[in-house]
């Protein structure tokens, strides 16, 4: 049974010590948190993935039948492979007013500060409950959170507000882009390169599709820009990230796979670009391939869909978090978070957390101690709020 009293920094160090890279299980961390909360008299609900190797955690402190405040964060981190770290990424180093370690900024510090406050939440008579919502596999497509969101109604009243603690320097974010990502594989027909007229070049047709996507990207920039939105860039972006294909210079390539995505402006049609792409495949590219050999083809697999976060007039989450953060205005960001998933399920949500996204995913990731202190003050104001509400 873990000690039930940790300072914020001690809890940050503890959570960073768990290597929860997305390809690994997060259960060791989840079981630590569950045991820690149990020592405070707080029951945790675990929602596992299909293989039972990972889990979300949802815990309620206070009266479950009252609309409460959700403090949400993902437990997984991106890999450190190939990065030049000056120290062990999973052992926090405190230096020059900063805490270094994988996940310090993105986003274990927010979770740790909330957990460090849990003894005070648990020993105070709350009028409004605090819910802790910890997810898995956010970094690989926000896979875990929907499993937890689907069960939230079973655990109590619908939340008054969801605060997703991604790093915003404690600014309040009320809008972000959505993300749709895909793998497309072109299946061609191999031949010796001296017989290219009898083969179907998978790399060449993949290149044609990449060029088509580039044209859509240019169209979004030139014809669909929304400078008043506050986004940078202020339009839906289309991006091809990786491509692999072919076996040798003198062989017409049999296969070629490329990964691509679009990042949607809030309110944009999530299916438009995918549908235009598929129409081009069906009407233009496949007929040319089938004219040579009917066995050729093109397959597109959805990797992830993360809905955007749209501003909501009169949002109780926005009003609450602006007050707690001592801010007068909201901001928008181009990256995606689980906040869009909470909002899509009917939960008012905003993003607000310590640290800077500029430090995320980099070697020597860090969070400023001043950000830790600012988030602690935020949590203490939240405690006052849920006692008085």
Q: What is the per-residue pLDDT across 307-337, written as a single tens digit (0 to 9) for each?
A: 999 999 999 999 999 999 999 999 999 889 9
β pairing state of 330-333 and 130-135:
unpaired
Decide: 389 and 127 in contact? Cβ < 8 Å. yes
In the residue annotation, 76 being an active-site residue is answered as yes
Q: Which of 382, 275, 338, 284 is nearest to 58 (CA)?
A: 338
In the residue annotation, 301 being an active-site residue is answered as no
Residues near 48 by Cβ (< 8 Å), separated by ≥ 6?
Answer: 54, 55, 56
Residues 24 and 160 in one domain: yes
Give the structural domain span for 358.
Answer: 8-176+308-388
* 117 to 90, 122, 150, 380: CA distances (angstroms): 23, 9, 27, 8
The conformation of residue 35, written as its DSSP 8-state character, comes to H
Domain endpoint, select from 247, 272, 303: 303
**What's this model's pTM, rounded to 2 decimal places?**
0.91
Residue 1 has pLDDT above 90, yes or no: no
Q: Catalytic: which of 106, 137, 138, 261?
A: 138
Q: How many CB atoms neighbour CB 41 within 10 A?
A: 10
Give Dmax (Cα) for the chain.
Answer: 80
Residues 147 and 196 in one domain: no
pLDDT for 3 equals: 60
Q: Catalytic: which of 3, 19, 35, 76?
A: 76
Residues 320 and 257 in one domain: no
pLDDT bucket at 239, cuts 50 / 70 / 90:
very high
Residues 47 and 156 in one domain: yes
Decide: 134 and 56 in contact? Cβ < 8 Å. yes
Q: Which of 367, 356, 357 is nearest to 96 (CA)?
A: 367
Residues 254 and 327 in one domain: no
Q: How many CB atoms neighbour CB 65 within 10 A?
A: 9
Mean residue pLDDT of the chain comes to 97
């Amino acid at each position: 049974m873990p000690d039930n009293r940790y300072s914020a920094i001690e809890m940050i160090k503890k959570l960073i010590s768990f290597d929860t890279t997305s390809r690994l299980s997060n259960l060791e961390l989840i079981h630590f948190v569950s045991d820690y909360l149990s020592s405070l008299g707080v029951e945790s609900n675990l929602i596992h993935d299909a293989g039972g190797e990972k889990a979300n955690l949802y815990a309620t402190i206070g009266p479950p039948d009252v609309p409460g405040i959700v403090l949400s964060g993902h437990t997984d981190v991106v890999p450190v492979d190939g990065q030049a770290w000056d120290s062990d990424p999973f052992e926090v180093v405190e230096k020059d007013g900063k805490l270094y370690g994988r996940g310090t900024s993105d986003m274990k510090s927010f979770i740790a500060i909330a957990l460090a406050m849990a003894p005070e939440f648990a020993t105070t008579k709350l009028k409004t409950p605090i819910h802790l919502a910890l997810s898995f596999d956010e970094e690989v497509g926000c896979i875990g959170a929907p499993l937890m969101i689907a069960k939230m109604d079973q655990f109590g009243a619908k939340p008054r507000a969801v605060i997703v603690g991604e790093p915003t320097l404690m600014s309040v974010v009320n809008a972000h882009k959505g993300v749709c990502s895909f793998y497309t594989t072109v299946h061609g027909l191999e031949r010796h390169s001296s017989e290219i007229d009898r083969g179907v070049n998978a790399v060449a047709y993949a290149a044609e599709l990449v060029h088509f996507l580039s044209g859509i990207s240019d169209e979004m920039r030139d014809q669909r820009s929304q400078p008043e939105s506050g986004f940078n860039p202020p339009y839906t972006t289309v991006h091809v990230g990786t491509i692999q294909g072919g076996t040798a210079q003198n062989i017409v390539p049999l296969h070629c796979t490329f990964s691509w995505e679009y990042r949607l402006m809030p309110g944009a049609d999530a299916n438009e670009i995918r549908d235009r792409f598929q129409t081009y495949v069906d009407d233009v590219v496949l007929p040319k391939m089938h004219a040579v050999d009917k066995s050729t083809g093109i397959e597109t697999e959805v990797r992830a869909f993360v809905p955007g976060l749209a501003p909501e007039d009169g949002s109780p989450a926005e009003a609450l978090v602006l007050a707690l953060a001592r801010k007068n205005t909201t901001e928008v960001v181009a990256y995606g978070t689980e906040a869009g998933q909470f909002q899509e399920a009917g939960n008012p949500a905003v993003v607000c957390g310590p640290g800077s996204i500029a430090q995320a995913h980099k070697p020597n990731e860090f969070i400023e101690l001043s950000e830790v202190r600012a988030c602690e003050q935020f949590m203490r104001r939240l405690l006052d709020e849920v006692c008085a509400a």
